[in-house]
Amino acid sequence: MKIGILTDIHENVSMLREAIRLAAVHRCDELVCLGDMVCYDQRFYNFITGRSAKSCLDLIRSNCRWIVAGNHDLYAAGRFPSYSNGFEYPPNWFKMDAEERKSASQGKVWYYEREAPNDLDEDDVTFLKSLPEYITISDSGIGCLFSHYLFPDLSGSTTRYIERNHQLKGHWLQNHHYA
């Protein structure tokens, strides 16, 4: 089975359409989306015109067999991630302004200070809330774990970065819990 992988779309509808087109050209049997379909921060992206969280979700839902939530999807859904690197989210986290979240986060988790408003409706948010943070599949005896980031932070919600191969040791030792 040939699987096409989509990730970090961040509301870029035109690039998502192109990626789906290319997956068809390359005869992918299935598509998986590894999250961050929604949320847009102007510091990192320059496609302000034509961006649409709703359109991206519609395309992902109609083209991908497997979909997992990334940290931005969880934030847009008002949902806490499973793993938080020891950080305890205050119950009012999603009602706090960015400076309050920054102070409370202690640098351990992203606080989403510059997320632009999106065009999601209630059904879209409900869909985002329903997404798993990881999915495992098995095909022809080969197992695969799909997630937005690495164990133990499968959604990418913490500010911890993997920069060296030795930092993956915990991931390789622990990923058997998800098979």
The least confident of 26-30, 54-58, 137-141, 147-151 is 137-141
14-36: per-residue pLDDT in tens?
Answer: 999 999 999 999 999 999 999 99
Determine what percent of the chain is predicted with pLDDT higher than 70.
Answer: 88
Average pLDDT over residues 67-82: 97
Widest pairwise Cα distance in the chain: 49
Here the tokens at position 84 are 């938080």
Q: Pick from 148, 9, 178, 125: which is nearest to 66 by CA?
A: 148
**Domains of the chain, CATH where assigned:** 3-178 (3.60.21)
Residue 152, preceding peptide bond in cis (omega within 30° of 0): yes
Contact 32, 6 (CB under 8 A): yes
Total-model pTM: 0.89
Confidence of residue 80 (pLDDT cuts 50, 70, 90): very high
